[in-house]
Amino acid sequence: METKNKLMITCKEATYLVSKKQQDKLSFLEKMQLQFHLMICSYCRRFANQIDFITKGIVRLRSRIEKQSTSISLTSAQKDKMKEALRNQQK
C-alpha cells in the first residue's frame, strides 16, 4: 500500500504502517503520518498498542524457549490424560 504525500492518512493506511513498522523501518514521512494519525485516532492507537504487546510477548517467549536446554515434553500421565480426553471427544 502506497501512502501518498499527505499528512492525514486513513485508518486502513495507518494499520498498514503499524504492521509494516514491525517488519521494516518506516520512512520519515511514514513515521510522521502514523504519529499524526495515532494522536487523533484512538482505535488505531489501541491497535498499535495491541500489536506491540503481542510482538513483545512473542519475543519474550522465543527467548525463553531458546534459553531452555531441554525440550519441552509431557509426562506419561499428561499424555495418558490427553489420550483419554481425545477418546471421550470422539464418542
- Tell me the three cell numbers of residue 44: 488505531
pLDDT, tens digit, for every residue of 33-70?
A: 999 999 999 999 999 999 999 999 999 988 887 777 56
Alpha helices (H) in 1-91, listed in sequence order: 11-23, 28-40, 42-67, 76-90
Q: What is the mean pLDDT of the chain?
A: 89
pLDDT at position 50, please? Answer: 96
Instruction: Kindly tell me if the per-residue pLDDT of 2 is higher than 80.
Output: no
How far is it, in rounded angstroms, from Cα 75 to Cα 24?
41
Res 90: pLDDT: 79
Distances (CA, A) of 26 to 14, 34, 52, 61: 12, 9, 15, 26
CB neighbourhood size of 19 (10 A): 14
| pLDDT for the residue numbered 71 | 64
